[in-house]
């Protein structure tokens, strides 16, 4: 029960406090990973495996030490689990960033919205119109609800503090080196594939919750499930496609298409039916994401309590 209580308390801390402005542990991990990369990097998959093993292994080992040290004291174990959960979750900050872009669009500040959007996506935003900005936000909210909320809660429920920290380490490394391109095509392969594997259960739970909770934003569960079944398998990501398709169906919008990145242009599959998103759909996507997060922590706590 202490694990379940810790997951609930950590989720509450994220909802109330969000991420710290300075000295976030994930940012500190990222700095350490960047420093280690100067020693481990080579244009080879084997070096990427070593990079991942050292950093994710250190995170898992640290989490295992914390778990063992507090396991026999329920209150301490609850607090340690809560602190780790708060550290790895990012749902509140995700929603704040999305709503900031919405507010800039509502104020008619398209250049400001394009610039702020870079906090959420890695694509080139300099030439996007309002509809494309809105699409990018909806896609980011959907994908990151799985990556930054649901998936870590799943691993926290199953493996406790080591699962929370190892998942966040792997997901951070994927964001840093897992993308395609000349420098990271081989070196980042292991981080990208490991992140895909770890996100498999969280993405499916996110898709199911988005479908079940679609009526909260005026949508239909059947539309979300239909978009998932029809469109997700054609997406290049085995996980993002599931969540984005389910969100698109739940919101009754059409997302996907051409994206411009530093490493080149990617033509993504179109997901969902209906019109392209508008800025009003950003708020709906955030409300759906918040509901999915609440559903996920309830599932995670129930799973943890049974272990």
> CA–CA separation, 219 vs 297, rounded Å?
22
In what helix (H) or strand (E) does residue 256 lie, and over which residues does it extend?
Answer: none
Backbone angles phi, psi at 271, to 5 degrees: -120, 130
DSSP 255: B
DSSP state for residue 237 in the 8-state scheme: S
The pLDDT value recorded for residue 123 is 85
Instruction: Using DSSP bridges, classify how beta strands 264-267 and 258-261 pair: parallel, antiparallel or unpaired.
Output: antiparallel
CB 214 within 8 A of CB 158: no
What does the pLDDT profile of the chain (307 residues) look like in tens digits?
A: 999 999 999 999 999 998 877 778 899 999 999 999 999 999 999 999 999 999 999 999 999 999 999 989 999 999 999 999 999 999 999 999 999 999 999 999 999 999 999 999 988 898 899 999 999 999 999 999 999 999 999 999 999 999 999 999 999 999 999 877 788 999 999 999 999 999 999 999 999 999 999 999 999 999 999 999 999 999 989 999 999 999 999 999 999 887 766 556 677 789 999 999 999 999 999 999 999 999 999 999 999 998 7
In DSSP notation, 144-177 reads: HHIIIIIHHHHHHHHH-HHHHHHHHHHHHHHHHH
Which residues, including other chains, have CB under 8 Å from residue 115's CB and lie 6 or more apart?
125
- pLDDT value of position 262: 59
**72 φ, ψ (degrees, to nearest 5):** -85, -5
Structure tokens at 153: 């809660």
Q: 192: which residues sit within 8 A by CB, 6+ positions away?
A: 174, 178, 179
Question: Contact 203/240 with Cβ under 8 angstroms?
Answer: yes
Q: What pLDDT score was predicted for residue 181?
A: 78
Question: Which of 97, 139, 121, 93 is closest to 179 using CA atoms?
Answer: 121
What local confidence, expressed as pLDDT, does residue 18 receive? 86
pLDDT at position 69 is 94
User: How far apart, in whole angstroms, are the C-alpha atoms of residue 271 and residue 236?
Assistant: 12
**pTM of the predicted protein model:** 0.93
Closest to 192 in 3D by CA, of 236, 134, 246: 236
CA angle 245/250/254 to nearest 5° reads 55
The pLDDT assigned to 265 comes to: 65
Query: What is the token pair recorded at 117?
Result: 């959007």
The answer to whether 153 and 297 have CB atoms below 8 angstroms apart is: yes
């Amino acid at each position: 029960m202490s694990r379940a209580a810790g997951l609930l308390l950590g989720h509450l801390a994220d909802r109330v406090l969000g991420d710290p402005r300075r000295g976030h542990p994930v940012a500190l991990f990222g700095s350490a990973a960047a420093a280690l990369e100067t020693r481990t990097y080579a244009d080879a998959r084997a070096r990427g495996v070593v990079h991942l093993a050292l950093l994710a292994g250190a995170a898992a080992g640290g989490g295992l030490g914390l778990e063992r040290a507090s396991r026999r004291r329920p209150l301490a174990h609850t607090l340690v689990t809560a602190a780790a959960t708060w550290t790895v979750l990012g749902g509140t900050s995700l929603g704040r960033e999305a709503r900031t872009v919405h507010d800039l669009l509502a104020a008619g500040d398209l250049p400001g919205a394009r610039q702020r959007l870079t906090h959420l996506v890695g694509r080139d935003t300099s030439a996007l119109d309002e509809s494309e900005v809105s699409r990018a936000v909806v896609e980011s909210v959907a994908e990151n609800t799985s990556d930054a909320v649901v998936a870590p809660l799943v691993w926290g429920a199953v493996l406790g503090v080591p699962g929370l920290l190892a998942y966040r380490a792997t997901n951070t490394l994927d964001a840093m080196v897992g993308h395609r391109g000349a420098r990271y095509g081989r070196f980042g392969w292991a981080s990208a594939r490991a992140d895909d594997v770890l996100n498999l259960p969280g993405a499916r739970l996110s898709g199911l919750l988005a479908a079940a909770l679609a009526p909260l934003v005026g949508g239909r569960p059947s539309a979300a499930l239909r978009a998932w079944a029809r469109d997700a398998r054609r997406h290049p990501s085995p996980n993002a496609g599931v969540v984005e398709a389910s969100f698109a169906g739940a919101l009754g919008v059409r997302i996907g298409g051409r994206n411009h990145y530093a490493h080149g242009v990617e033509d993504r599959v179109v997901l969902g039916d209906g019109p392209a998103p508008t800025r009003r759909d950003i708020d709906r996507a955030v409300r759906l994401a918040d509901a999915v997060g609440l559903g996920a922590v309830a599932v995670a706590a129930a799973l943890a309590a049974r272990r």
